[in-house]
């Protein structure tokens, strides 16, 4: 940093640059000393396959390494497949309002007046809603709203 500033014509020394970097919370990115040592309170787990000769494909995967109930349960919880959320949960508040208004049969001008928006903005929201829900028409929106009990 000192050399870079000197090349740009600033007269600074190494100590000043170091002090300013510390003051600003800037630090160099490089491996620090004792990086591979475990932190305080870090639990060390034994290598479960020590002494095991790997002699066939997928042998390691089939080895029972869940010797503690805690590990088995935490792994199961992390791997549990959650059903995907329905697409309408990704809509913004305004998009949801436009969706429900369109499904209720209102046209863009009416929705614009209700939400204090321009008709063009309502059209933009409608296009976004159609894209997010994977639909192509207002009829599809109505069908979606009825099918998901949103109205």
CATH class of the structural domain 91-147: mainly alpha
> 49-54 — which CB contacts under 8 Å span 24+ positions?
none
Q: How many CB atoms lie within 10 A of CB 94?
A: 15
pLDDT for the residue 66: 41
Quick: pLDDT tens for 77-119: 666 666 778 888 889 999 999 999 999 999 999 999 999 999 9
Quick: pLDDT tens for 68-79: 555 666 666 666
Higher pLDDT, 23 or 68: 23
In the chain, where does DSSP find H-type helix?
2-7, 14-24, 59-62, 69-79, 93-103, 108-115, 119-133, 138-147
What whole-number percentage of the chain has pLDDT above 90? 36
Computed over every residue of the chain, the mean pLDDT equals 81
Domain definitions of the chain by residue range: 1-28, 91-147
35 contact partners, CB below 8 Å, separation of at least 6: none
């Amino acid at each position: 940093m000192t050399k870079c500033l000197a090349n740009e014509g600033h007269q600074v020394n190494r100590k000043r640059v170091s002090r300013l970097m510390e003051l600003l919370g800037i630090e160099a990115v490089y491996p620090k000393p004792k990086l591979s040592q475990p932190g305080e309170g870090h639990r060390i787990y034994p290598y479960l396959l020590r002494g095991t000769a790997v002699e066939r494909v997928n042998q390691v995967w089939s080895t029972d390494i869940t010797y503690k109930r805690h590990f088995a349960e935490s792994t199961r919880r992390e791997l549990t497949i959650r059903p995907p959320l329905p697409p309408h949960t990704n809509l913004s508040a305004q998009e949801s309002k436009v969706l429900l208004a369109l499904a209720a049969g209102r046209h863009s001008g009416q929705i614009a007046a209700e939400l204090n928006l321009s008709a063009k903005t309502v059209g933009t929201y409608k296009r976004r809603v159609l894209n997010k829900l994977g639909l192509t028409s207002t009829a599809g929106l109505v069908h979606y709203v009825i099918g998901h009990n949103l109205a």
